[in-house]
Structure 1
């Protein structure tokens, strides 16, 4: 997963300097002052570690042995994906052919000190997302296979704080430095599909993640400095929108406004992590589960994994039934800094 968000506080105050999941979220990597560690997301098992100094970026290529790493102090971020390696400098981004380690293109950008970016690994929609302004929340979408700019989206009034593309490259989600509204745009024509309200008060968005999907993702998850875990239901919003359009109120108020106002699209787990501690969450999988009480109706069950920069891994089970009622269960939690290779789940 690309380095997609920034923190208001320096990561140097945490024992973990960076954390990222690979493209299918089957493994994750953390960087510390001593080196880096690779874990199995399913079991929590420590697969590999090297104590060779501090790293601020460690990115794993699927389940291969290839890692993109950047030592602490360097102003470079480099997510790698199948055929492309992206290297982000302060005001320039380089696209490499990962097989030949050859520069394919150099993109001039606005100052990007936090290395904010999003990336979709799909060959059919292989896009790179970068900030396009330092005064407002504009995002540049660049096709790294065709090596050309795709479009620019004005997503927010305030500068961007988090960007993520879904795995198939069809949708992009963004949050500004205000952190109150999450917006989702359709990449193909740069149109806004959804607007979700995270909260009324400003908060730093630490991470955004779409559920894995070949079509429209079922849900989108966000973590922030408030310590809450937010799940936004895209599928439910789509169903509600079709029903709302037939009402008098729905014909008067635009979708972009009513989507924000409707709390039914948002589900919050308060105090999921310690407030103020940076975190990175992904939706590892989503299953449709038949509801025994209502034949023919399926509920949504998601597995959500969180890495906190104070050194913990948490896995939550989130279930949303056909009545839009959420159920949260903490399945696993363990200390990432423990020297034990086989972490025990609690």
Structure 2
């Protein structure tokens, strides 16, 4: 009960890793904080007076650019320079922003029935994808600058995903017809593209299986068994090379698999249930879980199946370190 009470009082609204998974943004009722992952260090701390109550934030790699949404102006995307502590630009939409996903040169903004893709840094619209009205605000974009600029989101048919290349646009900033992939029989709750965009991992509302697809051939590659009980999958992430996959659900356990060869289950690392969490990789044998109760967990794992928690902290209690500023 103490843990649940702490989660409710943490003031955290959302958490998000940057594209390299070496930093994360913590959106708070009292502002915004940016952390280095390894070692765990607070890089920046913006107060309620500076940025307001922040609902969503995406870092642009490990740069000074932050894209965020303020609770008092939920229809506006703010572009903020963290080093200069100033607002660089803002874009207004006709509906509240439900999610944002960024790469170095693009940001996908999820609204109620569309995803609008903006170019960075001018924030002009370059692509548009239509999504089912009221579906979960799911979106994933390939982040490797040398790879096709693929964007994936729920399609209008239940359990299906639509994929477009947002670099291939036509006049009027409307993208060509997306490719549609049949992934699950139930509604989608989570999806993730590998950094180079060649693989797509998905989970449905059952949450028992993570399915992995080849985005080039649109064919299934493998099914990864998370568990037999239904679960709400909060996050799926690939490592930088697309050879590892991790996921975390409301069961409070992070799973790690090899995404090649025998597709081995490498780790099942228990943290805390009843709190939303994000997971990512430090390297090929270290994974991180950050939770909305303010906890930070680092696990090391090996191909033999051994897994150990090697670090734990409450990141809201970690002070800033000016030597590691962005």
TM-score strictly above 0.5: yes
- C-alpha displacement of 1:13: 7.4
Matches within 5 A, 1:179-258: 179-213=207-241, 217-237=242-262
Identify which of 17, 22, 37 aligns with 2:18: 22
Aligned to 2:77: none
Aligned to 2:168: 146
Moved more, 142-151 or 180-189: 142-151
Matches within 5 A, 1:46-195: 46-52=42-48, 53-72=52-71, 74=74, 75-76=96-97, 77-123=99-145, 124-133=147-156, 136-147=158-169, 148-195=176-223
Gap runs ≥5 in structure 2:
1-6, 75-95, 170-175, 322-326
Identify which of 32, 44, 47 aligns with 1:36: 32
- C-alpha displacement of 1:112: 4.3
Measured in 2, the distance between the counterparts of 1:337 and 1:317 equals: 23
Q: Is the 8 A contact 2:11 2:30 kept in 1?
A: no
Q: Is the 8 A contact 1:316 1:328 kept in 2?
A: yes
Gap runs ≥5 in structure 1:
1-10, 239-264, 287-301
Q: Is the 8 A contact 2:25 2:32 kept in 1?
A: yes
Give TM-score scaled by structure 1 length.
0.77
Q: Is the 8 A contact 1:143 1:149 kept in 2?
A: no
Indicate the structure (1 or 2) with the bigger Cα radius of gyration.
1
What are the superposed Cα offsets for residues 92-114 of structure 1, whole Å, 9 maximum, x if unpaired? 11111112221122222212453
Q: 1:101 to 1:41 in 2, by over 3 A?
A: same
**Residue 293 of structure 2: SS of its match in structure 1?**
coil
What are the superposed Cα offsets for residues 281-308 of structure 1, whole Å, 9 maximum, x if unpaired? 012221xxxxxxxxxxxxxxx1101110
- C-alpha displacement of 1:234: 2.1
Q: 1:197 to 1:104 in 2, by over 3 A?
A: same
Measured in 1, the distance between the counterparts of 2:197 and 2:134 equals: 22
Q: 1:12 to 1:107 in 2, by over 3 A?
A: farther
Measured in 2, the distance between the counterparts of 1:93 and 1:276 equals: 30
- C-alpha displacement of 1:83: 1.4
Q: 1:93 to 1:42 in 2, by over 3 A?
A: same
1:340 aligns with 2:323: no
Structure 1 or 2: more strand by fraction: 2
The number of aligned residues is: 282
Structure 1 stretches of 4+ moved >4 Å: 11-14
Q: CA-atom RMSD, angstroms? A: 1.9
Aligned to 1:248: none
Give TM-score scaled by structure 2 length.
0.81
Aligned to 2:80: none
Q: 1:104 to 1:202 in 2, by over 3 A?
A: same
Aligned to 1:281: 279
